[in-house]
């Protein structure tokens, strides 16, 4: 197991707005609040902006012994200021990403059903994100998996599974009944009036 995986128990995913100062402030607040992983998901940013953002986040990520991932962009993930890449079906195939990045970088994949989960496992990913567990405003057209189906997927997974989608302070108790490797949050922190306070509460609820 890649040692960085252990730090993906509590992950923040950026919400795609593209405001660099806002992202840096909220990421810093989440790390101060106990989060240990960050996935930069900012499709509005070009390569140079994305690299600049990762370079600015890198010192605070290292200060908190956290993991920094970038969504989709294998070229950016190859830089020293990023720990790995998170992929979807529009990205490079995970085996292709691995061939570029090597064994030290993390390679993850978003899975939404059993077939995608099995395919990702065969591709040799380090982890999968299962989503959406609950209804989520970020993808209102997506059908939520629900607790029972997510439990079945996690049980069938041969790689660590991280839960995403509608996770917040109200749904976390139900999510914690699923024996997943980790939990990922977006709106619960990015839309909070007090991001650090929200991160602290989520961190305490998830536990070590």
CATH code, domain carrying 31: 3.20.20.70
CA 96, 73, 122, 118 dihedral sign is negative
With beta carbons less than 8 A apart as the criterion, state whether 143 and 166 touch. Answer: no
Range of the domain at 200: 3-206
What's the confidence (pLDDT) of residue 46? 94
DSSP state of 205: H
How many domains, the chain?
A: 1
- As given in the structure block, the two tokens for residue 30 are 């989440």
Q: What is the pLDDT along the chain (208 residues), one digit of tens a residue?
A: 788 899 999 999 999 999 999 999 999 999 999 999 999 999 999 999 999 999 999 999 999 999 999 999 999 999 999 999 999 999 999 999 999 999 999 999 999 999 999 999 999 999 999 999 999 877 778 899 999 999 999 999 999 999 999 999 999 999 999 999 999 999 999 999 999 999 999 999 998 7
């Amino acid at each position: 197991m890649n040692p960085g995986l252990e730090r993906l128990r509590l992950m923040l995913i950026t919400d795609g707005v593209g405001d660099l100062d806002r992202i840096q402030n909220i990421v810093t607040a989440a790390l101060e609040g106990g989060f240990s992983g960050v996935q930069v998901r900012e499709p509005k940013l070009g390569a140079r902006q994305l690299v600049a953002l990762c370079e600015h986040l890198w010192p605070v990520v290292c200060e908190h012994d956290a993991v920094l991932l970038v969504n989709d962009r294998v070229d950016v993930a190859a830089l020293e200021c990023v720990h790995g890449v998170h992929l979807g079906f529009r990205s490079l195939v995970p085996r292709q990403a691995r061939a570029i990045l090597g064994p030290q970088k993390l390679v993850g994949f978003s899975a939404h059903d059993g077939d995608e989960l099995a395919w990702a496992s065969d591709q040799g990913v380090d982890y999968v994100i299962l989503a959406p567990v609950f209804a989520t405003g970020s993808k209102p057209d997506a059908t939520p998996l629900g607790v029972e189906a997510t439990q079945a997927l996690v049980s069938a997974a041969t790689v660590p599974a991280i839960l995403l989608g509608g996770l917040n302070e109200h749904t976390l108790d139900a999510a914690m009944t699923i024996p997943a490797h980790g939990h990922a949050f977006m709106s619960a922190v990015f839309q909070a009036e007090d991001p650090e306070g929200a991160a602290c509460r989520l961190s305490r609820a998830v536990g070590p």
